[in-house]
Amino acid sequence: MLKTVFSGNNFAVFLVLTLFSCKKHEEESLPYYNTPDFDPHFITGEEAVKQIPHTIAPFSFIDQNNEMITDKTINHKIHVASFIFTSCGSICPIMIKNLDVVNKKYEKDPDVVLLSFSVTPWIDTPQKLAEFKKFNKINNPNWHFLTGGKGEIYKLARQSYFAEEDLGFTKDSTEFLHTEHVILADRDKKIRGIYNGTLQTDVQQLVKDIEILKKEK
């Protein structure tokens, strides 16, 4: 028979650690990002309304089903943005494979949307994107592969998603965009995380962070 004995000091230490653990769990949250340098702001949602003006700008693109997808599609939803092209033979296949972890977990969750923007939209027609999605065995109706005007996609990537955070607003919008970065945005379209889509550990963290956002009110 096991017997647990707490001395006065031991019990005090146990109580402090328990309270600290509970408080840490209650305060678990993600930072907000407002600028291309990804300087984190650890503030409350109420504070973010005034202190974090940056949100994902309005957009309108066509997906693999030849359907219009706009910023309204992600209203009040958590979304994950990535930038790919169907003929990419380097980082894109790795990113798609890793993001499939997110895909499988939230495939039946309409509150989590994945947006993959083509950075070669002049090549990636809706038909090509549909073939790409089928080739990768992706059945999630909430994972949209998007095409449209090159300038519009590049501007959104760099000025809204800060997809190349080391360059941000200063990059020439016509220069080719090729990034492994995956961006997480909350229900208010505010950026809450950036991840390396080629790293499984980063994508695992992305899933954990989505769970944190799902608990936010």
| 74 within some domain | yes
Question: Tell me, what CATH number does 172's domain have?
Answer: 3.40.30.10
Give the phi and the psi of residue 109 in degrees, each rounded to 5: -110, 105
Tell me if 54 is assigned to some domain.
yes
22 is in an annotated binding site: no
- Look up residue 80 and give its amino acid: V
The verdict on residue 12 lying in a domain is no
| pLDDT tens for each residue of 155-184 | 999 999 999 755 444 445 567 788 999 999
Mean pLDDT of 103-115: 98
- Let me know if residue 193 belongs to a domain: yes
Distance of alpha carbon 26 from the chain centroid: 23
Q: Would you state the pLDDT for residue 174?
A: 61
Q: How far is residue 116's CA from residue 114's CA, in Å, rounded to a whole number?
A: 7
Q: Is residue 16 part of a domain?
A: no
- Interhelix angle 91-106/200-215, nearest 10 degrees: 30
How far is Cα 97 from Cα 183, in angstroms, rounded to an integer?
16
Q: Which of 48-62, 130-144, 155-169 has the lowest mean pLDDT?
A: 155-169
The answer as to whether 13 is a domain residue is no
Please, are residues 152 and 163 in contact by the beta-carbon 8 Å criterion?
no
State which residues form the domain around 106. 30-215
Q: Which percentage of the chain shows pLDDT scores above 90? A: 78
Q: Which two tokens stand for residue 97?
A: 């494979």
Task: Say if 84 falls within a structural domain.
Answer: yes
Quick one: which H or E segment has residue 208? helix 200-215
140 domain-assigned: yes
Number of domains into which the chain is organized: 1
> Quick one: pLDDT at residue 16?
42
Structure confidence at residue 12 as a pLDDT band (50, 70, 90):
very low
